[in-house]
Structure 1
Amino acid sequence: MPLSTAMIIAGGVVVLAVACGLIARARNGRRRAGGPTRVRPEDLDGRRLAEVATLVQFSTELCTRCPQVRRLLRGIAEEYDGVAHAEIDLTHRSDLATRHRVLQTPTTFLVDASGAVLARWGGVPDRRSIDEALASVHTAVPDRAAVPDRLEQS
């Protein structure tokens, strides 16, 4: 193989890798539709789903970004009436990763009281995106400004 052909192939591989990396980075933390899966109480070790919505976080023991997301989701759950945070450690429940198609940690689901997944985020979710998703399920925000006012400040 001539050197020029090898250089063109190597350059193409580098360009493809950079493009794939940029696409993956752009999708990280973005809100997507929930899909047909349902979260069941047995998935949460018997804990009940909240009366309005539950932020379900999928994590692993070695996930470096999971503690950051845990603090974010707990804080959000404390601000909204009827919203709870639940964490599932996929290190011990790999069956749930397969069933819910979780390909990275952290992954967060917004789940309604029936267990239907309304939205999902792969990676570190954006606070604004979570607030918008929670506003769409008509959740009240106690002791804080209305969600649209907070969104304008961001």
Structure 2
Amino acid sequence: MSPALALAIAAALLVFAVAIGIVLRLLDGRRRRGGHLRFDPADAGDLELGDRATFVQFSTEMCTRCPQVRRMLRGYAAESVGLHHVEVDLTHRPDLSARYRVLQTPTTFIVDGSGAVRARFHGVPHRHALDEALAAV
């Protein structure tokens, strides 16, 4: 293989990796539909769902962005009446990642009073996206 061809292949791989990184960064923190998922409160230790909604945050012990999301969601829940925050550690409950289709941490669900997942966020949610999702509940 000639050096020029090897350099061209390496450059193409670099451009491809950067493009994938940019797309993933743009999708991070955006609101997605909850689908037909229902959250079972027993999965988080028999908690009581909030009257208005509940933030269900899936995290792991090694997650670096999870403490930031925890602080943000707890603060948001403290400001609002009928809004709760629950954190589920997937390190100790890996079976839940398959059940709720959680592929990365942090992942946050907005669950209504009946347990239906109304919205989901991968990564650090944007504040305006949380406002919009809660307004739709």
TM-score, normalising length: structure 2: 0.95
Spell out the pairing of 1:110-129 with structure 2 (5 A cutoff): 110-129=110-129
Spell out the pairing of 1:44-59 with structure 2 (5 A cutoff): 44-59=44-59
Q: In the alignment, is residue 39 of structure 1 matched against residue 39 of structure 2?
A: yes
Partner of 1:89: 89
How far apart, CA to CA, are the structure 2 residues paired with 1:26 and 1:38?
27
Partner of 1:29: 29
How far apart, CA to CA, are the structure 2 residues paired with 1:44 and 1:22?
34
- Show structure 1 runs of 5+ residues with no match: 138-154
Which letter maps to 1:61? E
How far apart, CA to CA, are the structure 2 residues paired with 1:41 and 1:111?
10
Q: In the alignment, is residue 77 of structure 1 matched against residue 77 of structure 2?
A: yes
How far apart, CA to CA, are the structure 2 residues paired with 1:66 and 1:96?
17
Q: In the alignment, is residue 63 of structure 1 matched against residue 63 of structure 2?
A: yes
Partner of 2:109: 109
How far apart, CA to CA, are the structure 1 residues paired with 2:67 and 2:5?
47
What SS does the aligned partner of 1:32 have? Answer: strand
Sequence identity percentage:
58
Which letter maps to 2:134? L
**RMSD, aligned α-carbons:** 1.1
Shift of 1:36: 1.6
How far apart, CA to CA, are the structure 1 residues paired with 2:16 and 2:35?
29
- Tell me how many residue pairs correspond in the alignment: 137
- Show structure 2 runs of 5+ residues with no match: none
How far apart, CA to CA, are the structure 2 residues paired with 1:18 and 1:64?
22
How far apart, CA to CA, are the structure 1 residues paired with 2:135 and 2:36?
21
Which letter maps to 1:89? D
**Which digits, 9 at most, give the CA deviation of each residue in 1:30-63, with x for residues without a partner?**
1111112111011111112112210000011111
Which letter maps to 2:57? Q
TM-score, normalising length: structure 1: 0.85
How far apart, CA to CA, are the structure 2 residues paired with 1:36 and 1:12?
40
